[in-house]
């Protein structure tokens, strides 16, 4: 896999924190940033997939945004009563 160098600016405090983590994990800054971006992108893709699925379910069942709060409250009441 070929790589491309990019320039990124960080506040000094964040850079110090990043360097501390990289040192603790025996990684370079680049390795740490690649892992962080990879984790973010994967998490974002999972969320996009879930949102797409649930939007389709809402459309299929005719659910409206205001129904969400009602369903959450009902679920919480059910869980509380089971405790």
Structure tokens at 66: 């205001």
Query: Is it the case that residue 81 has pLDDT exceeding 80?
Result: no
Q: Could you tell me if residue 3 is inside a domain? A: no
- Average pLDDT on 32-39 reads 97
Q: Predicted confidence band at 28 (pLDDT cuts at 50, 70, 90)?
A: very high
- What is the DSSP code string of 9-50? ---HHHHHHHHHHHHHTT--HHHHHHHHHHHHHHHHHHHHHH
Q: Could you tell me if residue 68 is inside a domain? A: yes
Query: How many domains does the structure of the chain reveal?
Result: 1
pTM: 0.68
Question: Which residue is listed with tokens 């974002």?
Answer: 44
Q: Among 9-13, 26-30, 53-57, where is mean pLDDT lowest?
A: 53-57
Q: Could you tell me if residue 46 is inside a domain? A: yes
Q: Given this model, what pLDDT does residue 58 score?
A: 87
Q: Given this model, what pLDDT does residue 47 score?
A: 95
Q: Could you tell me if residue 6 is inside a domain? A: no
Range of the domain at 50: 12-82
Measured CA to CA, the distance from residue 20 to residue 17 in angstroms comes to 5
Q: Given this model, what pLDDT does residue 74 score?
A: 87
Q: Could you tell me if residue 53 is inside a domain? A: yes
Residues 1-26: b if buried by 16+ CB within 10 A, e if exposed: eeeeeeeeeeeeeeeeeeeeebeeee
């Amino acid at each position: 896999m070929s790589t491309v160098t990019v320039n990124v600016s960080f506040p000094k405090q964040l850079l110090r924190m990043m360097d501390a983590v990289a040192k603790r994990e025996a990684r370079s800054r680049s390795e740490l940033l690649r892992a962080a971006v990879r984790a973010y992108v994967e998490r974002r893709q999972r969320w996009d997939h879930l949102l797409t699925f649930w939007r389709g379910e809402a459309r299929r069942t005719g659910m409206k945004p205001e129904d969400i709060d009602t369903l959450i409250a009902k679920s919480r009441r059910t869980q509380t009563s089971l405790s």
